A and B are shown apart, each in its own frame.
Chain A
Amino acid sequence: MSYDKIFKGKRGDEKFYLGNEAIVRGALESGIDVYTYYPGTPSSEVGETFMEIFKEVGMKWVERSINEKVAIEVAGAAYARGATVMVGMKNVGLNVASDPLFALATTRPKNKNSAMVILVADDPQQHSSAVEMDSRYFLKIFKIPALEPSNPQECLEFTKEAFKISRELKLPVILRTVTMISHARSNVIVGEIKPSGIRDDFNLSKEVNVALRLYFLELKEEHIYNRLNQALEISENSPLNKIENENIKNKFDLGIITSGVSYSYVGDTLDFLELEAPILKIGFINPLPERKIVVFLKQFKQIFVIEENDTYLETQILAIAHKNSLNVKIHGKDPFSYSKENKLLSIVGELNPTKIALALMKITDIKPKIDLNQISKKKYDTLARNPIMCPGCPHRTTGYALQKAIKKIKLISGKNIYFYQDIGCYTLLAFPPFSFANVKYCMGSSIALAQGVAQTSESFNIAIIGDGTFFHSGIPALLNGIYNKTPILVLILDNGWIGMTGQQPHPGSDTRYYKEGSSKKAINLEEFLNGTGANVNVIKHYENNDNEYFLKLSKLIYEKSLDVINNKNLHVIIIKDECIQKTIKRQAPVLRYIDNELCNNCGICYRKFLCPAIDISEELVYIDQNLCLGCGICEMICPNKAIHREEL
């Protein structure tokens, strides 16, 4: 399906593309050879699309790497050797990938076809991220060019421009998007697909590719004073930095500087306020075009800088105004004040036209026909809904079994028990009724977090981590714990896939059950862990689908916990219970029903176990057949044996 949608179509055809799909098309129109990535919302569709079509479209290599650092390294060396490469990740992925990127940014491949674009998808409002972060500050640290599109059409065009700049300058170029760009869908006019220009007689000379002081300070000089300087010239002259409504004057002497998705909000907001103002739209976000900005600033008494998240543009524009002795009032989020009262726009959260309109009203005293303040004051008694795990989610079973075990352990040992969470659907176990979370940071952190408390107190500490996250970045922390003989319990919630971002495979996934699996080798987690000398137990649900599973799991957690507490051993339990979304694609679920003769409405299944498929109507408990996915745990935990399999 993706092949037809993305690869077919000739110059001038109009498609209805997601921003992420437009990026794929833009890369194919740039002769891309290699794409490496780690899935993460809102960047995932780019990689998943490449993974689906790469053989058909004749690309050299596409991989869903084990983590973002590895993805950058695989692609980086391919770039050094003359490939046109792209790497994709979400905001926090860039943190993981940042170490190699410092060296990579300075290297200068000697091969003509070398080009590298790094897609970083930020997530203002952290719709689906562990933190809200603005990755643009990395641009200043790495000292590399970056472009930011403001709609799906620009996603395609800016991707092509990014490849062009990288190929010309031999610098990696970052393409920065945000959720509302990556996941916006719109009209996109496509261009021509370009064949690869990769050659096999490549040059990997150490003088430009090896990060060693001997060569590298000199190379860094060349990187900054030659290549980055050229990038600045491109930025100064690039149509990606453009002035709109240039000859318009308004009575407020106000001009607007913006970029990315904020630009599209500005357009709507000005229409709404019936205000006309010149706009400097920055598409080339690093290095900033100082001369162009100065020319723009000189025309106004007031400037409003509108950007998502941090004051990346605003801080630099303030500096540019000072450096050029310009007397212009610059409005924005004010990088030098942390007083919330006086902010026109907040540094926290996602922008939208309403916030921008309210800010512009403060600057201009315009009173629009529609009273935004009044509308935003209205409050309704809405039904609060927390995000919940799917019906049949194995993590709910694990959470419930853990809850049972914990009660007993507390009673027997009298210990305080603490939980360390990681990044995955199971993070939702942090909410009631489970509340299994005391400390949680980022991908792969849970196992080390548990060690920090275990080493400094007499408490009992449990790390909860998924299989995908364990492969991504949990392994070094576990080895650290084993080596230091730290008494912790590590629960690896092995659902077989990278569940949260769309059930993508990881190195441990069953190769029989995914498309490219036939060309992969699955890593056996149990064998791997046995090799580390850790105490490892494995418990499987689906393969031994017996009614005792739940009790066995709870008992196993209880026993191994006591061993951690009493004998100061580190224990790992691998809980193999597949992501239900993946299971139901292979086998039809065996739905359950409730025998209301036997049910006494104790509420265990819907209130304690919290299965969203079980509901109650006029004192009668029932299973919503449209929601039930047939995991069968309710049948195991029902004290009245009132839940049965669907009668065939």
Chain B
Amino acid sequence: MNFDSYTIVVTGLGGQGLIRFLQILGNALMIKGYKVMTSETHGLSQRGGKVSCFLRFGNKLPAPIPMIGSADIILSLEESSILDVLYYAKPDKSTNLIISTYEKQQIDTKYPSLEYLLSVLYENSENIYFIPVSEIAVKHTGNLKAMNSVILGYILKFLPLDSNDLEESLIQHFSEKNLELNLKGFKEGQKLQSILSENE
């Protein structure tokens, strides 16, 4: 894997905690010695609206926005939202598409069908991972808020980071009240990684 220049695209809905997610990940990568650049969307990203952010790192400082067709990972915190950023997938189909199975329906609007979603995803990648993030978070931590920590645990296997690196970062970013919950979610995410890997 080439970590000289690595791009992660994160998409989801306003209020899903994308910004903190990027901070935790970016901080750990910086401590690991990488030049990191994230772009955040603030302000009028009301709860429910679409939000896309980028995290890029490598041995030289990347720009805050990547080129289309260049992402190493596209992470979607809401299932069909991945369609909004699919043009960042590499044409050689090597991009890892990590998709939360959480669906946010919208009244009187047709939600993209799973058949359609799968067909375009396979057009764009050979590495597609669906994760029931919210179910895992609720089942193992009792709180949906641990969702993003589950994903952090899961994507660890793609990144040049150890479990300790991200744990450190989680400790820095969460108050005592929420830390335990998120560490638990993080651990569950890592377990999930091994289960899926075995099945592969």
Contact = CB atoms under 8 A, between A and B. Distances in A.
Contacts of B69: 370, 372, 375
B64 interface: yes
B61 interface: yes
Interface in B16-30: 22-23, 26-27, 30
Interface stretch (B34-42, B151-159, B192-200): B34-42
A390 interface: yes
B138 to A, nearest CB: 9
B152 to A, nearest CB: 16
A41 B68 contact: no
A187 B33 CA distance: 10
Nearest to A356: B67
The listed residue with most A CB atoms (<10 A of its CB), out of B26, B68, B90, B106, is B68
Interface stretch (B109-117, B125-133, B176-184): B109-117
Contacts of A391: 47
A269 interface: yes
A16 B46 contact: no
Interface stretch (A376-384, A450-458, A480-488): A376-384
Contacts of A265: 63, 65
A421 to B, nearest CB: 14
Interface stretch (A75-83, A177-185, A401-409, A567-575): A177-185
A380 B86 contact: yes
A610 B111 CA distance: 17
A353 interface: yes
A264 B22 CA distance: 20
Nearest to B109: A383
B36 A187 contact: yes
A372 B46 CA distance: 31
B47 to A, nearest CB: 5
A323 interface: no
A272 B90 CA distance: 13
A388 B49 contact: yes
B66 A268 contact: yes
A14 to B, nearest CB: 7
Contacts of A45: 42
Given A127-B43, A127-B44, A16 B30 contact: yes
B3 interface: no
A610 B40 CA distance: 28
Contact of A382 (B26, B37, B84): B84
B30 A18 contact: no
B112 A383 contact: yes
Interface string A609-628: 01010011000000000110
Nearest to A128: B43
B80 interface: yes
A268 B62 contact: yes
A383 B64 contact: no
Contact of B48 (A41, A267, A374, A612): A612
A376 B47 contact: no
Nearest to B13: A385
Contacts of A500: 43-44
A511 interface: no
A268 B47 contact: no
Nearest to B5: A271
Given A353-B66, A372-B67, A383-B83, 16 more contacts: A16-B27, A16-B36, A41-B42, A128-B42, A180-B39, A265-B63, A268-B66, A357-B67, A370-B69, A375-B91, A380-B83, A385-B13, A385-B50, A388-B49, A500-B44, A615-B107
14 contacts: A14-B30, A16-B30, A45-B42, A183-B41, A187-B36, A265-B63, A370-B69, A375-B87, A375-B91, A380-B86, A383-B109, A391-B47, A615-B105, A616-B107
